[in-house]
Structure 1
Amino acid sequence: MDNFHVTLLPLLLLSLVISPPTATAQLRQNYYANICPNVESVVRGAVIQKMQQTPIAAPAALRLLFHDCFVRGCDASVMIISPNADDEWRSPEDMTLKPEGFDVILAAKAAVDSNPQCRNKVSCADIIAIAARDAVVLSGGPFYPVELGRYDGRISTRSSVVLPHVDANLDRLNAMFGAFGLTQTDMIALSGAHTIGAAGCPSFIDRLYNYAPNRPTDPSMNPGFVFQLQRTCPRVFSPAAFAFLDGTTPARFDNAYFQNLQRGMGLLASDQVLFTDPRSRNTVNLFAGNQQAFFNAFTTAMGKLGRIGVKTAANGEIRRDCRFPN
């Protein structure tokens, strides 16, 4: 969810994106039991294989779900490649998505469709949801059942990408998440996905230099953390320079992210504000001290996230190639 674009969603977007009852009702566990019974194990195998090839695969696949669901709903529109380049993944907000995330989904789709029983019967949107869960579990996080039965969308446009920005304050974060029926606790729990992954220097460099008059750096930051980041990201930095969102256990899905916030070591301003704002601090403290409480809240929030903007057979399809509408 890093590198998001700050814009508060108008109420109109609620009516366009929030799933109608008929759409969410179709979602259920074991949706593919009689269609493609081994789909979850096949997807898991593809995620495992990609994670063995590169540690970026897990956070990239998890982030892909957020960037998909928060735009047109969980319909795999983020995967679409448009011949005129007017698609979500080439918007400024999505240019930071890692190719490894897309590779995970394409590999899983190919593995699923290699079984004649399953071919062209499992949506890319469902594969993204399963892969995101497996990325969490295989990184040490909680297992949770994934509701399935989504159809893939047919539309993807750059202008539709409206996402929270890296310097969003609590009010903006709550407005964005609240537009999708997610509570402040849901938002904080989902922000905990930053316990794995990284962000490029442009996402936080403004916090390190000339933050404000007479304040060279963001005052909410731990001074030692600032010094460490300034070495990683000098004023003139390499385009490939980055820092881990959780520098303590960057590859493990745990509650260290929240413990870092307590120490002023949140990488993004939108991370650190969860602790500096007294309205959200108690939840951060709860999750920092009780990993199971974080895991429970995260699985609840992921269930809600997965129901956003669900497509049906009436307004969707099962894409044969995740990158192109049929």
Structure 2
Amino acid sequence: MVHKPVSYFTIALFSLIFFLPSLLHGQPSLFYGQLDYRFYDRLCPNLPMVVRYNVWQAYKNDSRIAASLLRLHFHDCIVDGCEGSVLLDDTLDFKGEKNAPPNRNSARGFEVIDSIKADLERFCPSTVSCADILALAAREAVGLAGGPYWAVPLGRRDGLAASEQAVLDQLPSPIEPLENITAKFVSKGLDIKDVVVLSGSHEYRYSWDATTRKTTVITRRSHTVGFAQCFTFSRRLFNFKNSGNPDPALNPSFLSDLQNACPGGGSTSKLMPLDSVTTYKFDNVYYKNLMNNTGLLESDQALMTDSRMAALVNFYSMNPMAFSYDFAASMAKLGNVGVLTGQAGEIRRRCGSVN
């Protein structure tokens, strides 16, 4: 895709079209933790519109980019904090996060962030961090998919290194027990509600082949807008836990549809929507699916095995406005995890490499 630099006229036009919703939601307090909502007002006033325009352009061509940018922001913040380390390419000095098993051939949206950064380097060089760009891009992507708005405090600085091992140690995985996943969220200052709101939003799965000693990413998703490959849930369809029968937790009608779509044990890489009702729309139908036993992945349905989480799933299934409000609040909390400010880190000139 050829990147077309954004013009000042385009910035002005998008300011008129898109800035009003932000104003209608009101302006929160000036500071959030170590960050400042008006950090770039003087230094780079065009920042919000440059981000908005580029994300809109990407979304026009690929509606899946909304889930990808949301997931990319989560994978950045949950591993060593929101400091843009997920964007770094591998170097001779470190093997980073971009090619760690949960991200390899799975993480998407890097070119959108690079496009935004290139435009900003024209308007306000060496000013806006890649971490801030990613936080804003995730917010805009969710909005384009029909999700809620939340104010993003700014002033993050970019990290100087990345670690593949940190991804494996810190990123919650659905192959772990639910209590382990919860513990990882809590270690980042998040809570049970954030687990239910965010865990399904940014999930990955990967499998280990003992023969080839290779790891393969098998799903990438945002719980309200995303897909999974047939072989990621095939054992639920025909031979659940070696019983010779399907997963009894699956809704019978839903099971029949999946068996028809993924025949022969479901060993193909065919993509199936995680939410077949509103596939590309950000909404609360995911929770309704869980209540109806039509969660596609085992890890989805596992939320119903914990009484506290099941209560939240039930609540969100009936209260879409509450889900949107809590999602926005959780995203604000997530964006404040492990930030670098002041003189820590740097402002990268290119998001894929340190200066």
TM-score (norm 2): 0.79
Q: Tell me, yes or no, if structure 1 residue 141 matches structure 2 residue 147.
A: yes
Q: Does residue 274 in structure 1 map to residue 303 in structure 2?
A: yes
Q: CA separation of 1:202/1:180 partners in 2, compared to 1, >3 Å: closer, same or farther?
A: farther
Q: Partner of 1:111 in structure 2?
A: 119
CA distance in 2 between partners of 1:292 and 1:111 (Å): 35
Pairs within 5 Å for 1:46-195:
46-84=54-92, 86-99=95-108, 101-115=109-123, 118-162=124-168, 163-191=171-199, 193=201, 194-195=223-224
The CA distance in 1 between the partners of 2:231 and 2:36, in whole Å, is 40
Instruction: Kindly report which structure 2 residues correspond to 1:217-228, keeping only aligned pairs within 5 A, or say none.
Output: 217-228=246-257
**Structure with the largest fraction of strand:** 2
Residues 234-249 of structure 1: matches in 2 within 5 Å?
Answer: 234=263, 235=265, 237-239=267-269, 241-249=270-278
| Structure 2 letter corresponding to 1:50 | A
1:28-47 matches, within 5 Å, as 28-47=36-55
| CA–CA distance in structure 2, aligned partners of residues 69 and 102 of structure 1 | 15
Confirm or deny: 8 A CA contact 1:232 1:242 kept in the other structure.
no
Please say if residues 230 and 266 of structure 2, whose CA atoms lie closer than 8 Å, have aligned partners that are also in contact: no
Which one-letter code corresponds to 1:112 in the other structure? Answer: L
Residues 18-61 of structure 1: CA distance to partner in whole angstroms, max 9, x if unpaired?
xxxxx974312121101101201110110000001111211111
Amino acid at match of 1:86: K
Q: How far 1:315 moved relative to its partner?
A: 3.0
What displacement does 1:284 show?
A: 0.6
User: In structure 2, which of residues 252, 259, 262 is the aligned counterpart of residue 230 of structure 1?
Assistant: 259
Match of 2:103, as an amino acid?
D
Aligned residue number for residue 215 of structure 2: none
Equivalent residue, structure 2, for 1:318: 347
Tell me what 2:323 maps to: 294
Q: Which runs of 5+ in 1 are unaligned?
A: 1-22
1:154 Cα deviation after fit: 1.2
What are the ranges of 5 or more consecutive residues in structure 2 without an aligned counterpart? 1-30, 202-222
8 Å contact kept, 2:150–2:328: yes
Structure 1 range deviating more: 267-276 or 162-171: 162-171
- The residue number in structure 1 matching 2:336 is 307
**C-alpha displacement at 1:225, in angstroms?**
2.4
Give the alignment's TM-score, normalised by structure 1: 0.86
> Aligned equivalents of 1:68 and 1:201: distance in 2?
27
CA distance in 2, matches of 1:266, 1:236: 16
Other-structure match for 1:16: none
Query: Aligned equivalents of 1:165 and 1:224: distance in 2?
Result: 29
CA RMSD of aligned residues (A): 2.1
Work out the percentage of aligned pairs sharing the same amino acid: 41
Asked whether the 8 Å contact 1:165–1:270 carries over to 2, the reply is no
**Quick check: which has more Rg, 1 or 2?**
2
Q: 1:236 to 1:272 in 2, by over 3 A?
A: closer
SS at match of 1:195: coil
Q: How many residues align structurally? A: 300
Q: How far did residue 168 of structure 1 move?
A: 3.9
Q: Specify the code of the residue in structure 2 equivalent to 1:156.
A: A
Contact 1:89 1:97 in 2 (8 A): no
Question: C-alpha offsets along residues 124-149 of structure 1, whole Å, 9 cap, x if unaligned?
Answer: 00011001001111111111101111
Q: Give per-residue Cα distances to partners, 1:228-287, cap 9 Å, x unaligned.
A: 333444436444x22222121111111111111111121222221112432311111110
Distance in 2 between residues matched to 1:229 and 1:155, nearest whole Å: 43
Q: State the Cα distance separating 1:95 from its structure 2 match.
A: 1.7
Higher RCO (C-alpha 8 Å, min separation 6) = 1
- Cα–Cα, structure 1 residues 212 and 236, in superposed 2: closer, same or farther, change >3 Å? closer
